[in-house]
Structure 1
């Protein structure tokens, strides 16, 4: 019996973190994307368009307000400014 998709809402941060992983797989070691770049990610069986360039720019500018666990997730993606 297949697992039911989660009905919990997916946060913008979760979608944004999922998007760089896709970019990293396509271009190893690269998380530099144009501000207008959009990635499509699938979370719990649903497609989401993530404005990756905007997400990275906004997250970087707000990094001082992010919780430590979120900064750790971003640092794990290879974002030096999150470390």
Structure 2
């Protein structure tokens, strides 16, 4: 849970920083961090939550699985 909470918080902070500094060169590092977090960490969360092994409760696996499927544009029904 801690790892996923840190991941969501880092996505929110980096996205907000990019939006706040939009129009200046200061937005580039924020969007770089956002892009790395968005593209690299989502697939592993999708995979583990698809197996139901990331969290102890099924509803948490389903919630993160649905979010991760949306983020990497995969159909959640087909892949399960």
Higher relative contact order, chain-length normalized (CA < 8 Å, sep 6+): 1
Q: Shorter-chain TM-score: what band?
A: 0.3 to 0.5
Tell me the TM-score normalized by structure 2: 0.40
Tell me the TM-score normalized by structure 1: 0.39
Structure with greater helix share of residues: 2
